[in-house]
Amino acid sequence: MVSETYTVTGMTCGHCAASVREEIEEIPGVQNVEVTVESGRVEVTSETPLDREVLARAITEAGYQLV
């Protein structure tokens, strides 16, 4: 299991956090996603390291941006 922390910009509320979490949870292999709106921190636990492009696309899909 791998746990990595990323920064996502543009989230302003709990709904934003939920959108990001839901999109990332759809990536195959993802086990857990923790989002902190205030800091923009997103911690993703997955079976194997995530492809950053795939993660970035999921976050863009939710309407936010991976930095």
Residue 15 binding a copy of itself, by CB under 8 A: yes
CA atoms of 13 and 33, how far apart (whole Å): 16
Residue closer to a copy of itself by CB (options 19, 46) is 19
Q: What number of chain residues touch a copy of itself (CB under 8 A)?
A: 6
Distances (CA, A) of 42 to 9, 54: 10, 15
Task: State the maximum Cα–Cα separation within the chain, in Å, rounded to a whole number.
Answer: 30
Paired tokens of 37: 């709106």
Window contacting a copy of itself (CB under 8 A); options: 1-9, 15-23, 27-35, 45-53: 15-23
**What does the binding site for a copy of itself look like in residue numbers (CB under 8 A)?**
12-13, 15-16, 18-19
